[in-house]
Structure 1
Amino acid sequence: GEEVWCQGFSEPDAGSDLAALRTRAYRDGDDYVITGSKIWTSHAEVADWCELLVRTDPGAPKHRGISWLAMPMDAPGVTVRPLRTLAGSTEFAEVFLDEVRVPVANRVGEENDGWRVTMVTLSFERGTAFVGEVVACRRVLGEVAEEARANGRWDDPGVRRRLGRLNAEFRTLWRLTQWNVSEAESSGGVPG
């Protein structure tokens, strides 16, 4: 919880096609110089770092020529513009990159190998997402049940039914997470 990260993957006019990205990065000595934009970047307005996909070889086929960089969100040239939802919240943002310099040392994987790194990233995200939340919810649910027993609300069948349903849902999510991790162990170490 000491750092907040966001994903600079999606781009305007690309839809869900991550490989259609146009944000460019060219190497200048020990830095990449990045120009482009990202959209639907969750919590970019509070993020310290961004997992950023950039096109480092514009002549390569679209799933090639992509690199994965760890970009500090306070780097000069980074502009974040929150997007307001219909509900009035601003958990998504556009991120504009105007000749942002990111050290080559912040690249994860080899240059132009970002597609593979991204698939591994997404596998872990989807395979073990929400582990912390499930554990916390199960703990809080246990505390609520204890309080209901202590204050007499446990005798209400509606309260027990609601708590039982939540317990079943959290146990199901926990089992799904355990299954994903077990499958990853047996298939090379990558969940998904």
Structure 2
Amino acid sequence: MELDDLKRTWQESKSQVQSNSSINIEMMEKMKDKYRLKLRKITLSEIVGSVVCLASAMFIAANFDKLDTPLLLGAGVLSILLLLALPLISLFSTRQLSKVGDFEKPYADTLKVFANEKIKFIRLQKINVTLSYLLLIIMIVLVSGLFSDKDIFSNKYYWILSIPLGYIFLLFYSKWVRNYYHKVLQESEELLKELPL
């Protein structure tokens, strides 16, 4: 009789452990999916920005014959190089960040890798923002050369308005993007910390 009770208790505890482990695995899979969805927001934004950069580079290359002065030619070459470099940096940084999704590693290693990749991502984003300010000046020069038949130095109002307005827009936009990415990264980190590993 006692042996039957012991067997029954053993079977009940075994089924409870299996039930708990399946719930744990299910919860872990949901958390992993949430984590990947969070990072996908950043990746999607960077892909859209990369497409815009590549389309702009192709437009400038297609209209390269309109650039008739050495200043405009130099600005055209520099803008194409920057418009190709910015997407490469962005896509590389997001690719590195998505490598953190290897949950087969120990929990502490996963958090450490995430912290390192987060720092690298933020550094690469700062480089992108700095290059964007340089690209802004070059694009202001190019726009006047591509869409105007006049000498670029003849319209002082163009320069007085375009540079300050461009910098103000880029300043606020880059701060908004930085805050948005910081929020997404923070939420992703919290999800990682909640993973039942």
**TM-score, normalised with respect to structure 1:** 0.31
If asked which structure has higher relative contact order (CA below 8 Å, sep 6+), I would say: 2
**TM-score, normalised with respect to structure 2:** 0.30
- Write 1 or 2 for the structure with the bigger share of helix: 2
Larger radius of gyration: 2
